[in-house]
């Protein structure tokens, strides 16, 4: 194999693909390698940890086709430190990869490509396919993943649930204490009910480059593939049942207030400084007569904090929440204003976008 690739393009691709490669402690050393395949007019860089696979297709000058696998981290760091604007030549022979760029030369020991795991395949004729703009994709996923769980004993909660409902595609996540739902695509024909690992979606978000305008999603029974221009990321889906979460969302709340996101975040941050010493709990309160919405916290050793903003309040109420959960919910929304509602000290708090009405976040209160 003998190929030439521009340093900037190669470095960017290696940065994306190498993150997927397994650590050096894996029982299969080849999983720590990147598979380089030169064929036709493109070089495909591939890495996998058996749960997730990433491929980036690069335009290159190919003088001789071939394949080899080399350590992902070593190659990525070597190329990223080369001067920008020069061509990088890669030559594979006898399970060794020689990398040359100007005055720089390196020889890396590789492993024969035949030992690299077979890459996951998706039959596009049978797959359920959705497309959407990359900015909408990024904002929607970011709004939901904050509510997913890290508890591996409940696998279904460690992912994001893609589900169709009344002709639209929704995504949802919950850790048992909070729930986030977002309308993903307004109108769809095909149905899907699939849990995608949060870690896979986070990797997709990190892999979006400036030149990507659209995300294509392909679902089959066991996998999902995300296409981002020349990049493909394929993930196993989680085998399990997601909770029937819609029955947990209150249809109405007794107390409802509309607040500015920026002011809400500022008040929550102030209270959070004191909440660190009180288990992270803050008090959200509405005062109808004063037309105020307040957030406060008390720490026995530090003192106390109370902030308020003027608001159109329909009823008095008070609820105690986990400050981090509250901050995650408010920071996730992309709109300037949101609604905050609840129906008592022990009832779920409902946070929604006001303008688009496509985002709902539920937080279970703490016992005061």
pLDDT above 70: residue 43: yes
Average pLDDT over residues 242-248: 95
Task: Give the integer Cα–Cα distance in Å for 171 and 160.
Answer: 6
Q: Which segment of 60-64, 136-140, 209-213, 233-237 scores lowest on mean pLDDT?
A: 209-213
- Residue identified by tokens 């593939």 is 225
Q: How confident is the model at residue 160 (pLDDT cuts 50, 70, 90)?
A: very high
Average pLDDT over residues 83-91: 96
Q: How confident is the model at residue 22 (pLDDT cuts 50, 70, 90)?
A: confident
Q: Is the domain 249-363 a CATH 3.40.50.970 member?
A: no
Task: Please give the pLDDT value at position 312.
Answer: 86
3-state secondary structure the chain: CEEEEEHHHHHHHHHHHHCCCCCCCCCCHHHHEEEEEEECCEEEEEEECCCEEEEEEEECEEEECEEEEEEHHHHHHHHHCCCCCCEEEEEEECCEEEEEECCEEEEEECECHHHCCCCCCCCCCCCEEEEEEHHHHHHHHHHHHCCCCCCCCCHHHHEEEEEEECCEEEEEEECCCEEEEEEEECCCCCCCEEEEEHHHHHHHHHHCCCCCCEEEEEECCCEEEEEECCEEEEEECECCCCCCHHHHCCCCCCEEEEEEHHHHHHHHHHHHHHHHHHCCEEEEEEECCCCEEEEEEEECCCEEEEEEEECCCCCCEEEEEEHHHHHHHHHHCCCCEEEEEECCCCCCEEEEECCCCCEEEEECCCCC
Q: How confident is the model at residue 279 (pLDDT cuts 50, 70, 90)?
A: confident
pLDDT above 90: residue 357: no
Task: Please give the pLDDT value at position 106.
Answer: 97
Average pLDDT over residues 160-165: 98
* CATH of segment(s) 128-247: 3.10.150.10
Task: Please give the pLDDT value at position 5.
Answer: 96
Please state at what angle helix 7-18 crosses helix 72-80, rounded to 10 degrees: 150
- Residue identified by tokens 């008040």 is 267
Task: Give the integer Cα–Cα distance in Å for 264 and 293.
Answer: 9
Q: How confident is the model at residue 24 (pLDDT cuts 50, 70, 90)?
A: low
Task: Please give the pLDDT value at position 28.
Answer: 85
Per-domain residue ranges of the chain: 2-115, 128-247, 249-363
Q: Is the domain 2-115 a CATH 3.10.150.10 member?
A: yes
Give the DSSP letter string of 131-149. EEEHHHHHHHHHHHHTT--
Task: Please give the pLDDT value at position 69.
Answer: 97
Task: Please give the pLDDT value at position 274.
Answer: 87
Same fold, 2-115 and 128-247: yes
Residues whose CB falls within 8 Å of the CB of residue 294, separated by 6 or more in sequence, listed in order:
267, 283, 284, 285, 286, 287, 306, 307, 308
Task: Please give the pLDDT value at position 303.
Answer: 82
Q: How confident is the model at residue 96 (pLDDT cuts 50, 70, 90)?
A: very high
Average pLDDT over residues 354-361: 91
Task: Please give the pLDDT value at position 119.
Answer: 86
215-240 pLDDT tens trace: 999 999 999 999 999 999 999 999 99
Which helix (H) or strand (E) segment holds residue 122: the answer is none
169-205 pLDDT tens trace: 999 999 999 999 999 999 999 999 999 999 999 999 9
Task: Please give the pLDDT value at position 188.
Answer: 96
Task: Please give the pLDDT value at position 285.
Answer: 95
């Amino acid at each position: 194999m003998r190929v030439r690739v521009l340093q900037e393009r190669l470095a960017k691709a290696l940065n994306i693909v190498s993150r997927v490669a397994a650590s050096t402690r894996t029982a299969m050393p080849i999983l720590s390698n990147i598979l380089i395949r030169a064929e036709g007019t493109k070089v495909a860089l591939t890495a996998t940890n058996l749960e997730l696979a990433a491929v980036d297709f690069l335009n290159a000058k190919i003088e001789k086709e071939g394949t080899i696998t080399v350590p992902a981290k070593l190659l990525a760091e070597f190329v990223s430190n080369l001067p920008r604007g020069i061509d990088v030549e890669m030559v594979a022979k006898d399970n060794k990869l020689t990398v040359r760029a100007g005055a720089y030369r390196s020889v890396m020991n590789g492993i024969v490509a035949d030992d690299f795991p077979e890459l996951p395949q998706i039959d596009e004729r049978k797959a359920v396919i959705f497309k959407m703009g990359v900015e909408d994709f990024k904002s929607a996923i970011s709004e939901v993943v904050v509510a997913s769980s890290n508890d591996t004993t409940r696998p279904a909660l460690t992912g994001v649930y893609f589900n169709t409902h009344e002709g639209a595609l929704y995504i949802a996540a919950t850790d048992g204490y909070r729930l986030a739902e977002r309308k993903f695509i307004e109108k769809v024909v095909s149905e899907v009910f699939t849990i995608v690992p949060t870690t896979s979606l986070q990797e997709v978000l990190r892999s979006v480059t400036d030149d990507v305008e659209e995300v294509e999603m392909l679902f089959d029974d066991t996998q999902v593939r995300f296409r981002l221009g020349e990049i493909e990321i394929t993930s196993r889906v989680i085998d399990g049942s997601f909770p029937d979460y819609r029955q947990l969302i209150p249809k109405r709340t007794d107390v409802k207030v509309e607040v500015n996101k920026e002011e809400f975040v500022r008040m929550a941050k102030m209270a959070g400084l004191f909440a660190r010493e009180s288990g992270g709990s803050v008090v959200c309160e509405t005062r109808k007569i004063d037309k105020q919405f307040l957030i406060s916290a008390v720490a026995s050793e530090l003192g106390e904090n109370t902030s308020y903003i003027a608001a159109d309040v329909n009823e008095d109420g008070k609820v105690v929440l986990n400050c981090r959960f509250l901050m995650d919910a408010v920071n996730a929304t992309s709109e300037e204003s949101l609604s905050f509602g609840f129906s008592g000290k022990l009832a779920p708090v409902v946070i929604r976008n006001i303008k688009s009405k496509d985002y709902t976040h539920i937080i279970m209160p703490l016992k005061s």
